């Protein structure tokens, strides 16, 4: 059976879309190979691209805190992105995030399907609209799935999907009150995912 290490090695040379041309390198998923919870974000950011690891920038640090507040540590979860290369626009010395398009999302879907097939999580959390669209399809809307476990099949994997906002949405919220509400909503959704994991584990 293919391992995560083998997948990461293969993905390091991925040229399925043009994003590899400007990115520092592929940022593959990270976490235990038999994690019950997988979190899928949009794409690596500037810090992740430079370090070659997912969720290590400001949004990643906020996610770590939210996971802890929801009753699970980062070490227990598998973290990855729908798109494995950083898409950006250069502005002086800064590299500004640009959302991946549908072609780029679909070019990377084979890696996401492979990660799901190897890890076999009980529950997948879609962090934001791009992650949800990669898993469900272009009609996906966060509000329709947010905090509510739903059955999902992706390739050979079958499990439960829970959607929530991306941690970066908390950081972008205007004012402390808005940020607090956004953070509390993120934690509530993650708690729903953790409960779903426990229910499925108890049923297995």
Domain borders along the chain are 4-203
Reported as a single tens digit per residue, the pLDDT across 80-115 is: 999 999 999 999 999 999 999 999 999 999 999 999
pLDDT in tens, 108-153: 999 999 999 999 999 999 999 999 999 999 999 999 999 999 999 9
Whole-model pTM?
Answer: 0.96
pLDDT band per the 50, 70, 90 thresholds, residue 201? confident
Reported confidence tier of residue 165, pLDDT bands at 50, 70, 90: very high
pLDDT of residue 200: 80
pLDDT score of 97: 94
Instruction: Please report the pLDDT score of residue 6 as a whole number.
Output: 97
* pLDDT tens digit sequence for 17-76: 999 999 999 999 999 999 999 999 999 999 999 999 999 999 999 999 999 999 999 999
d(CA 182, CA 186): 6
Determine the pLDDT at residue 203.
54
Structure confidence at residue 2 as a pLDDT band (50, 70, 90): confident
Task: Name the residue with higher pLDDT: 200 or 165.
Answer: 165
The answer to whether residue 204 scores a pLDDT higher than 60 is no
CATH class of 4-203: alpha beta
């Amino acid at each position: 059976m293919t391992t995560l290490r083998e997948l990461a090695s293969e993905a390091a040379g991925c040229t399925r879309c043009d994003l590899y041309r400007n990115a520092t390198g592929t940022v593959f998923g990270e976490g235990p190979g038999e994690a019950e919870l997988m979190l899928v974000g949009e794409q690596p950011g500037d810090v992740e691209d430079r370090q070659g690891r997912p969720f290590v920038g400001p949004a990643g640090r906020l996610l770590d805190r939210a996971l802890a507040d929801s009753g699970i540590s980062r070490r227990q979860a598998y973290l990855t992105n729908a798109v494995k290369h950083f898409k950006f626009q250069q502005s002086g010395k800064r590299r500004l995030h640009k959302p991946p398009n549908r072609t780029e999302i679909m070019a990377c879907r084979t890696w996401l399907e492979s990660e799901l097939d190897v890890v076999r999580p009980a529950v997948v959390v879609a962090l934001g609209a791009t992650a949800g669209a990669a898993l469900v399809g272009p009609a996906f809307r966060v509000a329709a799935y947010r905090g509510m476990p739903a059955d999902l099949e992706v390739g050979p994997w079958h499990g439960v999907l829970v959607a929530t906002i991306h941690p970066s949405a908390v950081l972008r919220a205007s004012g402390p009150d808005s940020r607090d509400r956004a953070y509390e909503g993120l934690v509530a959704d993650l708690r729903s995912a953790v409960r779903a994991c426990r229910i499925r584990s108890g049923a297995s």
